[in-house]
Structure 1
């Protein structure tokens, strides 16, 4: 069974149970099923069928969630479009995706021509799901123009068919891997899915968590940090919290577990390779710091190898390849280089040292400084809320360490920070410059944007 079969099965029972909530819209299962079929009919009337490409330039709305299912119901190729490109980049992305149509939310309609989502629904014609479909997702784009990662339908969702329904709050963009996954998980389990705004806001999270009795949610780390720092941070009401997108600072993971209990699960994946590892909350031992740093063991069916310090993965959750390029099966026997650097311990737990592009090469012997190791240590120091280390160009040493900080108060003792870093990590890691910011810049999917920080030195 595909996830579409499971979604239709859930939406065909308990008609009056709430299924989707976003903004002022609240849909029961019966209403969601009706809208799903009407969206599919609207697409079919516009000539969309198996294999055709449909670009979704949408925000976090119930209609957009059902549009995704409608495209897959027809066996078409869904192309998620990121929300923030400029006009020229947006045009280039659409052209590269080779789509037959573009569906746009009203809030985006001034930036791109297409079929308005509000005008799309046709008649509620019931349809049998297509046997297969394709999803294309744009990569984060932190190293340049985003690429298009191609994923075929998989059967992983059948493993969740017996999972009890939850009240799930989706905080990330539904056009991002974690947001799309959260939506699919909610739909296949028959959960009530509550959509947060397209731009995360901790005040809104706190309100929705309270009012909608949320017991399951998913974050990228900076979002979770904002909630933990909120004066009205929810107590231990969650049954499951999943965090992914970038590694968690051990200090913050400890804080989350102490606040919410052993429910915080750290996942490791990316647009090109979903569900690589999972570190269940029940495996975290607060008395063992190493269990706070690992991203867990490989998920079933996923292989992980370390080659020259780089993390390579293979399995059914890894993309087929990039759109317009040869598939991985032809170029690398299905293996994908994640771009992360890490190691496996003797028990099979994976530890991430850094992104290869974020390693700072410095010193007279061109040694590697792993910026994540430095980031994680600095946030353990009193008065430091967030930290991001990058390489600053230096004529003599190639690069030197520059540290960006978000502090809890106005007074930051830079000398104390430098001394602490040297005492813990050694002279190589000593920051040669420190900049205090009100907040760190984030990418559109909520990761710290180190590329933007590095651009400050150009």
Structure 2
């Protein structure tokens, strides 16, 4: 890579070329620094209940003491957390990290099959799950290493009388909490109370200790745990923090809307961790899919920042009442997780008066790798500039650098790049080369000012509302259904979610219907992975060695008549 790094000349004023990677020795030292400075400031809010930095400190210490003193966990043990955004989440993750343990974030929408794979693969010995998904947990934990289950209701930390009312409505009115039974399970609040009986020992936490096992799909269809160390996350907090600080953020006073789930790396780092470092208030939205409710909530919050994916912004813009919100306090809108569409960005600027700034990252980069200048006047179609202490280059198929303006595979190097995939050295070697470059699988080009633009994806990955969907997993599930001969899954454009899954199926039993396939997928795949389009074929295009040519299928025009919706 040329050493001039043209992006430096495009950096916003005040953003350094490198960050001080020695300032903090763990995520906890960043947290403790925030607690020292902002102890009485609000840290997290949900359903109207606010927890201060001091309260997060106390409660996370109680949870850590429970894990170490009561459950006798040892440094490095894995704790799986399966919850939507709620006050229990920051208490739990900071408690797990205080105890020198590793957080395994779990998508609460997983089916029992998907959850079981992640529990077994991570070797988690503890599972914390919200009641809404207790039935999934009860089916999945058998034959895993999970020895302890902690359960909680969504309203449990909200206080009286609102908390019990929330739990009652969810279970008996909205019917969102099926009955379940897990032998020996402990309630979250009981765990906190038990933690008070134990002194929290000093735990030696080092920068290279694994803080999070953050699962991401693989081209093989098997979800892999990206090992994100304290160093990775601290570096990304420093990098993103410097970038955002150039946007006139006021330490201790910012309010960020956290609608993306904290189990997703984008919200985990950009919202929870970065704004914790800045002493901000994370306003947790538990159910952003309820757009009218979400908009109603936004009307009462003087928020200064919001992050999201294209589909979230598009949904808000198309919800009655959104344009009537007072946006006078809004300073920053950051989009990532999937491509931001120009039409959405233009409409966002028109309605809110604030530019929708696009960023780029991966689970494997903790996640931020490139961010556009926060003072961008208009949406520019780029994923931005490599952030402080980050190198980027574009390579061709032979590993040679490509010229400015030419397309190559985007490769990233920096302190935020993962340690590797958990217990998968072969998979790690496929993406991390000997020189430390992470090969992203995304095809991009760079202009003379150092701005990068994504052109296409090298992988067959499908991106649904910011979530990675890998064709092999879909194909493996459907191929396991009676009456199916062959199946190929591809992504097709979708106005609502960016892309959606389409499957081409060759039947062994001609009586198999699209509805039967969809029902089977509902049992085995979480919502965003389920095919929205099913097309039956007599045969699938293949190479001379029999490999199905997904690319040919993906490039075919959509034929509504042949598509089952």
The reply to whether TM is greater than 0.5 is yes
Structure 2 stretches of 5 or more lacking a match?
1-23, 139-148, 152-187, 397-407, 463-489, 507-553
CA spacing shift, 1:118–1:282, aligned 2, 3 Å: same
Name which of 241, 247, 269 aligns with 2:339. Answer: 247
Structure 1: unaligned runs, 5 residues or longer: 361-370, 396-428, 437-453
- Tell whether 2:205 aligns with 1:131: yes
Equivalent in the alignment of 1:406: none
Matched ranges for 1:23-422 at <5 A: 23=47, 25-45=49-69, 46-113=71-138, 114-116=149-151, 117-121=188-192, 122-123=195-196, 125=199, 130-132=204-206, 133-134=209-210, 135-140=212-217, 144-154=221-231, 155-156=234-235, 157-158=237-238, 160=241, 164-165=251-252, 166-181=254-269, 182-233=271-322, 234-237=325-328, 238-273=330-365, 274-284=367-377, 286=378, 292-308=380-396, 309-326=408-425, 327=428, 331-357=433-459, 388=499
Aligned residues: 384
Give the secondary-structure state (helix, strand or coil) at the position aligned to 2:380: helix
SS in 2 for 1:82: coil
Tell me the SS of whatever aligns to 2:368. coil
Compared with structure 1, are the counterparts of its residues 346 and 15 closer, same or farther at alpha carbon in structure 2 (3 Å cutoff)? closer
Contact 2:355/2:376 (8 A) holds in 1: no
Task: Give the structure-2-normalised TM-score.
Answer: 0.61
CA RMSD of aligned residues (A): 3.4
- Displacement, 1:258? 2.6
Distance 2:136 2:504 in 1: 37
Normalising by structure 1, we get a TM-score of: 0.74
Superposed displacement of residue 56, structure 1: 1.4
Mapped partners of 1:386, 1:38: distance in 2: 40
Question: 2: CA distance between counterparts of 1:10 and 1:146?
Answer: 34
| Residues 172 and 200, structure 1, Cα contact 8 Å, conserved in 2 | no
Cα displacement string for residues 25-48 of structure 1 (whole angstroms, at most 9, x for unaligned residues): 332333222111111111112122
Deviation at 1:433, TM superposition (A): 3.0
**Post-superposition shift, 1:54?**
1.3
Shift in alpha-carbon separation, 1:95–1:302, aligned structure 2, 3 A: same
Q: Is the 8 A contact 1:170 1:193 kept in 2?
A: yes
Say whether 1:433 aligns with 2:545.
no
**Do the aligned partners of residues 270 and 200 (structure 1) sit closer, same or farther apart at CA in structure 2, a change above 3 Å counting?**
farther
CA distance in 1, matches of 2:86, 2:41: 18
Whose RCO is larger (CA < 8 A, sep 6+)?
A: 2
Q: Structure 2: how far apart are the matches of 1:16 and 1:28?
A: 6
Alignment CA distance shift 1:358-1:259 (3 Å): farther
